[in-house]
Amino acid sequence: MVVLNKELMTIVREVDVIPFRNRLKEHAVKIGMGLVNQTKIITAASELARNMLKYAKGGKVTLEVISTGRENGIRLTFKDQGPGIANIPMAMKDGYSTAKSLGLGLPGTKRLVSEFNIESEVGKGTTVTVIKWKNG
Ligand SMILES: Nc1ncnc2c1ncn2[C@@H]1O[C@H](COP(=O)(O)OP(=O)(O)O)[C@@H](O)[C@H]1O
Ligand SMILES: [Mg+2]
């Protein structure tokens, strides 16, 4: 897998989500991703950015255009230094939310992307990595 393009964005306020979404959209269009998959990755990214703001007072996102040679895609890595998640399987359960919000949540986010990985350590922070393949 090769990284064709990489940029780092800091998200510490709600308004930072807008330029992040715009850059994501630009890259998705550039690799020829269809509108349906564009919408899926942008929706997933918005939820993960909002989680970072809500639970960790913000964090950093790495936006990468990646290629396997036969397939191009976008990889997003959300990294924060918030409180971490004590019970990941529970946090990934449909309907579970400590904030009782009506958002998409982590399980909804996972369904919208091609690959989803979450790592978290209590007291250290959380890293969520998602990939959306152009045709995936
Ligand atoms: N970046 C994060 N840092 C710490 N806790 C998080 C983070 N993201 C999610 N969580 C925890 O996982 C739970 C589930 O997240 P999510 O499915 O997005 O639901 P919601 O945000 O509606 O509570 C949250 O309630 C929160 O406790
Ligand atoms: Mg959420």
Decide whether any atom of ligand 1 lies within 6 Å of the 10 Cβ: no
| 15 DSSP assignment | G
Distance CA 94, CA 104 (A): 9
> Which ligand has the minimum distance to the alpha carbon of residue 91?
1
Decide whether any atom of ligand 1 lies within 6 Å of the 44 Cβ: no
Q: Provide block-wise average pLDDT over 10 residues at a time, the chain (136 residues).
A: 97 97 98 98 96 97 97 98 97 78 83 97 98 95
Instruction: Quote the pLDDT of residue 94.
Output: 85
CB neighbours of 11 closer than 8 A, spacing ≥ 6? 17, 20, 49, 52, 53, 58, 59, 60, 61
Decide whether any atom of ligand 1 lies within 6 Å of the 101 Cβ: yes
Distance CA 131, CA 90 (A): 22
Amino acid at 51: N
Distance 68 CA to ligand 2 centre (A): 31
Decide whether any atom of ligand 1 lies within 6 Å of the 106 Cβ: yes
Reported pTM: 0.96
Instruction: Quote the pLDDT of residue 96.
Output: 80
Instruction: Quote the pLDDT of residue 97.
Output: 72
Q: Whose CA is nearest to atom 16 of ligand 1?
A: 105
Instruction: Quote the pLDDT of residue 41.
Output: 98
Asked if residue 79 lies in contact with residue 47, where contact means CB atoms within 8 angstroms, the answer is no
What domains, with CATH codes, occur in the chain?
A: 2-133 (3.30.565.10)
Instruction: Quote the pLDDT of residue 101.
Output: 60
